Structure 1
Amino acid sequence: MARPIVRWGAALGFGALWWWAVLRLALAPDAGVLEAGVAAGGWGLSLLPVHCVPKARAVGAVDPRRWARAWRAGRTGRVAAAATTASPRRRSDAGSMPW
């Protein structure tokens, strides 16, 4: 029960501090670097993504073991069959014009 209370208290405290800095910057002629730093820092935090989930739970995330298998296959020389499904490269004498 204490965790949500602490989180809400911290959020409200930091929110009040940010609003104090913004209002002081807007209204007080003697506002300085401290207020500007607090206001810019709070605005920068608002740009962080808040809808993040762990990679294991993300929809469409690639399993990290897949990358490890591909890396090991590349180091042992089995690259063509194990790590890639790319098209074969064109020969240099194949030409590039359609006629």
Structure 2
Amino acid sequence: MTGSIVRWGAPLGLGALWWWAVLRLALSPDAGVLEGAVAAGGWGLSLLPVHCVPKVRAAGALDTGRWREAWRLAVATRASRPRRSGAGSDLS
């Protein structure tokens, strides 16, 4: 019983607090920093990905060192290419 109260009560209470801040910012001329901080914080929390799975189980997840290997390959490829002798030498 206590678990379900916390599971439902906390989000409902925080949601009510967020709506209070947003409505106060929109409708009250004397809204201040507190309301702005609550509204911005709640909006920022809504951007968090809540449906995450570990990278190992995620469909289509890439290996951890993928970008490091791609960078090394690009540097190695660039180093093996012959360099031109001048910037504008072929524009005669």
Question: What is the TM-score of this pair, normalised by structure 2?
Answer: 0.62
2:31 alignment partner, SS class? coil
What is the CA RMSD across the aligned residues, in angstroms? Answer: 3.1
Aligned to 1:42: 42
Deviation at residue 36 of structure 1 after TM alignment:
0.4
2:49 alignment partner, SS class? coil
Aligned to 1:22: 22
Matched, 1:11 2:16: no
Give per-residue Cα distances to partners, 1:2-60, cap 9 Å, x unaligned.
Answer: 33431211100100000000011111111100000000111111111122112222113
Aligned to 1:54: 54
How far apart in 2 are the matches of 1:62 and 1:18? 37
* Alignment CA distance shift 1:4-1:57 (3 Å): farther
Structure 2, unpaired ranges of 5+:
66-75, 83-92
Q: Comparing both chains, which one has the higher relative contact order based on Cα–Cα distances under 8 Å and sequence gaps of 6 or more?
A: 2
**How many residue pairs align between the two structures?**
76
Structure 1, unpaired ranges of 5+:
68-87, 93-99
Which aligned segments of 4 or more residues in structure 1 are displaced greater than 4 angstroms? 88-91
How far apart in 2 are the matches of 1:32 and 1:41? 14
1:41 alignment partner, SS class? helix
Question: What is the TM-score of this pair, normalised by structure 1?
Answer: 0.59
How far apart in 1 are the matches of 2:45 and 2:81? 52
